[in-house]
Amino acid sequence: MPGLGKGLSKQTPQTHDADADHLAEQFIQGAKQRRDLTTPPAKRPRTRKFIRCTFSLTQDISDAIERLSLLPRTFHSNRSEVVKAAIELLETMPEEQIIDRLKQTK
């Protein structure tokens, strides 16, 4: 038979060592635990429903929104979040200031 010449011999089935089996089982269990720690948590389903809106902006305003979205260095912010933040800020202002601001941007 090919491969049974010099240096190669027929192998006999190995007997199982209980200690080796126990060590192997501990190794496998440790891998499962490490995998569980690195698995990201399941995402929660979103409860908010978003609607798409289309509106016109000047190039300067569009550029300003883009520039503002790039300011955070520790997280990602998109253009929609900049607009939402601006609206939330406007809502904290007194009504007279909001009206004055709206007049200025007209």
Quickly list DSSP for 5-64.
Answer: STT--PPPPPPPPHHHHHHHHHHHHHHHHHHHHHSPPPPPPP------------HHHHHH
Looking at the structure of the chain, the number of domains it has is: 1
Is 28 part of a structural domain of the chain? no
Asked whether the predicted pLDDT for residue 63 surpasses 80, the reply is: yes
Q: What is the residue range of 96's domain?
A: 59-105
Q: What is the residue whose two structure tokens read 């979103």?
A: 46
Specify burial of residue 81 (Cβ count, 10 A radius: 0-12, 13-18, 19+). Answer: middle
* Best-predicted range by mean pLDDT (40-44, 87-91, 102-106): 87-91
Is 72 part of a structural domain of the chain? yes
pLDDT band at 83 (very low <50, low <70, confident <90, very high): very high
pTM value is 0.52
2-31 pLDDT, tens digit per residue, is 555 566 555 555 555 778 888 888 777 776
Is 64 part of a structural domain of the chain? yes
Is 75 part of a structural domain of the chain? yes
Is 19 part of a structural domain of the chain? no
